[in-house]
Structure 1
Amino acid sequence: MENLSYKQAARFLDLATMGIRAGEVEHLLEIDDREAWLNNQLNLAATSHVDRLNYQLQERGQSQLTQEMRVCAWLDLTLWSEDQLRQRMAYALSQILVVNDRDAQLSPYPDGLANYYDLLSTHAFGDYKTLLYHVTRSPIMGHFLTMVGNLPKAETGVNPDQNYARELMQLFTIGLEELNPDGTLKLDIDNNPIPTYDDTDVENMARVFTGWFMTNGSMLEPMESDDLYHDQDEKVVLGQTLPAGLTAEQDLDAVLDLLVNHPNTAPFVSRLLIQRFVTSNPLPAYVERVASVFVQSNGNLGEVIKAILLDSEVEVQNSVNKAKLREPILAMTHFCRALDCKPGSNGKVTYDSLLYRETFNQYPLGSPSVFNFYSPDYKPPGELANNNLASPELEIIDWNQTIRMSNLAWKLVQDNGYKTGSNSKQELYPKISDFTNIAGDYDALSSLICDRFFHGEMPVDLAPRLEALWNAKSTNNKPYAVAPMLYLAFVSADFMVQES
């Protein structure tokens, strides 16, 4: 037993889920054991995005899958599934092992992309090598990074395509420059960064990824190898020799072993995951502790996420190294889960995609390139850059995006919040009756808002603004103060910046 405070429990769930639903903090307080909560989540079966996408199609009575349906299926599982940690982890992994539906070859296959997301979800708590193995064999990744159908130079007279070979190293495992175990840069005798690989490594790595083809032309089945079209000559990659005569499967296994066990991979991947879950600027000691778990567990991602969320750094007070801006789409999923948003007319699926393409500047499997929505090292000009602090999410947040998301929040609570919820299954309706039922009691109302959005502690600067909104309504009209109060809570910096 941990003797958790409400604030500790809420902070933890805020990081570990897609948003906190009513009663979840109280449930964790009853368990009083964050590790037990994590273990329970690790043992829950993955909910399937492909299954939910097909259910979307069935409920809509349509005949053709669309990318909007795929995003709505993602919203269904984000808002209502029990395997919250797995969904949260899959979303983080989707920003590391990137594919996107903007690719002309992939946009016609929402089921293929949902299947790729399921791959991330299924292996979210397994070992990183196995995850990379399945990612490598995915026809979605094969097309996105143009590895499918790669032939040896002996067949074509030109070097094999290097796209996947390069990004597997640069973005998925070892990064561009050598790292210390704590994620800081190694420097040579002239204080310059040391590259992790060179062009020859990329060329030889590309030879590893020859001889992989579509299975029956399917975007759902893993690619299969044909050793007749695999370069079986000797290859030297990152100083290690892959002997001649290896099959495509054997070369792949050897390369994944090499990359996952490279000293860079543990701190590189650990830092990226810490940034997605806890803080944009993790201290080197935090990275090293998590990276050590990565190494000791042979890259077990379940152990890694436990190390991230149970680390003492998560609870350090008033530290610039323990804060992050909410990603826009996750800010909205938190808002919707906090208000128990559901479709009207007893709808069973989300029809309302929240204008995702225009509202958030991000959506699942929708980044503009393999480099994700933002750089993990993005430092906005001004005070943050002057203090060498990163804030990746600010790279996609501008006034237009902020206004659009604020308007959406207002529509949800003001236009839909006071309706019965029986109007249209095309819309999402928040359950604000929890708030309106106690609207006559300011202390009770502000306390509930505080519990749902601020870890149980009312922000000092926000309190008088909320009270002013409440005071502006007459005694009989206090319920109509609820929507503007919820809206103000949502758009406040106190909500948008995650810190303890």
Structure 2
Amino acid sequence: MDGLSYKQASKFLDASTMGIKKGDIEEFISTNDRNAWLDEQIGTQCAPHVEQTLYQQQQRGESSVTQEMRVCAWFDLALWDDAQLRQRMAFALSQILVVGDRDAQLAPYPLELAHYYDLLSQYAFEDYKTLLYHITRSPIMGHFLTMVGNLPTSETGVNPDQNYARELMQLFTIGLNKVNEDGTLAVAPDGNPIANYDDADVENMARVFTGWFMSNGSMSEPMVANDVYHDSDAKSILGQEFPAGVSAEQELDSVLNLLVNHPCTAPNISTLLIKRFVTSNPEPAYVQRVARVFKQTGGNLGQVIKAILLDDVVLNESSLYRAKLREPILAMTYLYRALDCRPGGGADVTPNAMLYQESFGQYPLGSPSVFNFYSPDFIPSGELGELGLFAPELEIIDWNQTVKMSNIAWKLVTENGYKTSSNSSAELYPDVSDFVSVASDYPQLISLIANRFFDGDIPPDIAPRFEGLWNAKSNNNKPYAISAMLYFSFVSHHFMVEE
């Protein structure tokens, strides 16, 4: 049994879900077992994204599916599906194994992009090789990184397209340069980084990915191999010899084994996942602990995420090596879940009330490039830069974006917060009834806000502001202080920075 405090339980659930709902912490403390909670979540499948997208279309009465329906279906699952850890993991993986609907080839295919996201969800806790296998055969990835229909030199007279081969190594597995097991950069005797691969490796890797074609013209069915158009000559990749006469399917299996078992893949993927779940600046020892689990389990992502979330670092407080800025879209899902937001008018799907394209700087499968919305190694200027600390999310957060997202939150807790859910199906409405019920009792009200947004403790520097807001209302109008208190909770740096 874990014996966690309220604050520790809150920090754990915050790192493991799309946002903490009313009663979640109390229920979790009653079970008092993080390992059991994780096992249950790992075993819980989420509703298919494709089905929810089609349900969005049905409920809206539209004749065709749009990307907006796909994104709103993602919100449906993020806000209300029970498989919270799987949802969080799939979103993290979508920022590693990136595809994006801003690509002109993919923009017309919202259902097929939803299917790609279902692959991330379905294999979120399988071994990493299995996930890469299905991602590699996805026609969505095949078009995004131009591997589909790749032909050998014997057919075209030019070298095969290298796009997927390069990004598979650089972004999905081993990385540009060698790293130690703890994620620190390995250097040559002269102090320079040591490249993991060269142009010849990329050229030979590209030859592996020849002969793969769409199945019956489908953008969702796995691509199929035609060995007539596969380069079956011998290859040398990363120091390993690949013999001639091997089929496309067999060679894919061999190259994925090579990459997943490469000594740099475990620390690279471990670091990326730690940064999405726990901290932007993991200490080397933390990376090493997780990377060893990756290696020992053959890249089992279920065991890897358990190693990440059961580590003592997750429960640390006030440490630079525990801090992480909330991604804009995850800040909003937290707010929606914390206030148990539901659509009005008897609807049961998320409307486009959050203006996601204008306000967040990110949305699921909406990255502008294969390099994600932001670099995991982004260091901002100012004090953080002077300390050499990463803050990836700040690459997409500026005052303009902050104001837009704050406006959505203000509208939610003010205009919508005092309406009933019988209003418009085009809006989300928070349930503030529990706050209103204790509005005249300041200690109870402030305790409720603390538990919902601040791990159980109101930060000392904003406590007087809350008290001032409450005191400014007459006894009969105390409920009208709640909207401002909730709003300031959301925009507070104490909430926006997880630490």
Q: TM-score, normalised by structure 2?
A: 0.99
1:157-205 deviation line (CA, Å, top 9, x unaligned): 0000000000000000000000100000111110110000000000000
- 2: distance between equivalents of 1:107 and 1:273? 27
**1:236 counterpart SS class:** strand
Counterpart of 2:345? 345
Contact 2:19/2:337, CA 8 A, preserved across alignment: yes
- 1: distance between equivalents of 2:352 and 2:365? 18
2:209 matched to 1:209? yes
**1:72 counterpart SS class:** helix
After TM superposition, the structure 1 stretch with the greater mean CA deviation from structure 2, 114-123 or 310-319, is 310-319
Counterpart of 2:299? 299
For 1:302-451, list aligned pairs within 5 A.
302-451=302-451
Q: What is the Cα deviation at residue 4 of structure 1?
A: 1.4
- 2: distance between equivalents of 1:238 and 1:385? 35
2:168 matched to 1:176? no
**2:458 counterpart SS class:** coil
**1:320 counterpart SS class:** coil
Contact 2:353/2:426, CA 8 A, preserved across alignment: no
For 1:91-110, list aligned pairs within 5 A.
91-110=91-110
Q: What is the Cα deviation at residue 324 of structure 1?
A: 0.3
Q: What is the Cα deviation at residue 228 of structure 1?
A: 0.3
Matched residue type, 1:275: K
Counterpart of 1:61? 61
**2:99 counterpart SS class:** coil
Counterpart of 2:152? 152
- 1: distance between equivalents of 2:410 and 2:353? 16
Counterpart of 2:75? 75
Counterpart of 2:125? 125
Contact 2:211/2:248, CA 8 A, preserved across alignment: yes
Q: What is the Cα deviation at residue 317 of structure 1?
A: 2.7
Q: What is the Cα deviation at residue 458 of structure 1?
A: 1.0
Contact 1:71/1:353, CA 8 A, preserved across alignment: no
Runs of 4+ with deviation above 6 angstroms: none
- 1: distance between equivalents of 2:317 and 2:351? 41
- 2: distance between equivalents of 1:4 and 1:403? 36
Contact 1:352/1:428, CA 8 A, preserved across alignment: no
Matched residue type, 1:27: E
Contact 2:12/2:315, CA 8 A, preserved across alignment: no
- 2: distance between equivalents of 1:318 and 1:15? 15
Q: What is the Cα deviation at residue 318 of structure 1?
A: 2.1
Counterpart of 2:142? 142
- 2: distance between equivalents of 1:313 and 1:10? 14
**1:130 counterpart SS class:** helix
2:469 matched to 1:477? no
Contact 1:87/1:121, CA 8 A, preserved across alignment: yes
**2:38 counterpart SS class:** helix
**1:322 counterpart SS class:** coil
- 2: distance between equivalents of 1:442 and 1:316? 30
- 2: distance between equivalents of 1:437 and 1:9? 25
Counterpart of 1:246? 246
Matched residue type, 1:463: A
Matched residue type, 1:92: A
**1:8 counterpart SS class:** helix
Q: What is the Cα deviation at residue 451 of structure 1?
A: 0.4
Aligned alpha-carbon RMSD (Å): 0.6
**1:445 counterpart SS class:** helix
Contact 2:165/2:209, CA 8 A, preserved across alignment: yes
- 2: distance between equivalents of 1:472 and 1:200? 71
**1:129 counterpart SS class:** helix
- 2: distance between equivalents of 1:433 and 1:46? 29
Counterpart of 1:277? 277
- 2: distance between equivalents of 1:472 and 1:208? 69
**2:414 counterpart SS class:** helix
**1:415 counterpart SS class:** coil
Q: What is the Cα deviation at residue 369 of structure 1?
A: 0.4
- 2: distance between equivalents of 1:479 and 1:497? 28
Counterpart of 1:41? 41
- 1: distance between equivalents of 2:317 and 2:61? 51
1:387-408 deviation line (CA, Å, top 9, x unaligned): 1100000000000000000000
Contact 2:68/2:352, CA 8 A, preserved across alignment: no
- 2: distance between equivalents of 1:100 and 1:464? 45
- 2: distance between equivalents of 1:353 and 1:277? 26
1:55-82 deviation line (CA, Å, top 9, x unaligned): 1111111110000000000000000000
Contact 2:412/2:430, CA 8 A, preserved across alignment: yes
Q: What is the Cα deviation at residue 353 of structure 1?
A: 4.5
**2:364 counterpart SS class:** coil
For 1:187-266, list aligned pairs within 5 A.
187-266=187-266
Matched residue type, 2:4: L
- 1: distance between equivalents of 2:46 and 2:321? 32
- 2: distance between equivalents of 1:342 and 1:369? 33
Q: TM-score, normalised by structure 1?
A: 0.99
1:62-106 deviation line (CA, Å, top 9, x unaligned): 110000000000000000000000000000000000000001110
- 2: distance between equivalents of 1:372 and 1:282? 20
- 2: distance between equivalents of 1:74 and 1:299? 27
- 1: distance between equivalents of 2:291 and 2:366? 29
Counterpart of 1:456? 456
Matched residue type, 2:50: V
Unmatched 5+ stretches in structure 2 = none
Contact 1:204/1:236, CA 8 A, preserved across alignment: yes
Counterpart of 1:11? 11
Q: Tell me how many residue pairs correspond in the alignment.
A: 499
1:123-160 deviation line (CA, Å, top 9, x unaligned): 00000000000000000000000000000000000000
Contact 1:235/1:242, CA 8 A, preserved across alignment: yes
Q: What is the Cα deviation at residue 377 of structure 1?
A: 0.7
Unmatched 5+ stretches in structure 1 = none
Q: What is the Cα deviation at residue 315 of structure 1?
A: 1.9
- 2: distance between equivalents of 1:8 and 1:383? 28
- 1: distance between equivalents of 2:131 and 2:43? 17
Matched residue type, 2:171: L
**1:97 counterpart SS class:** coil
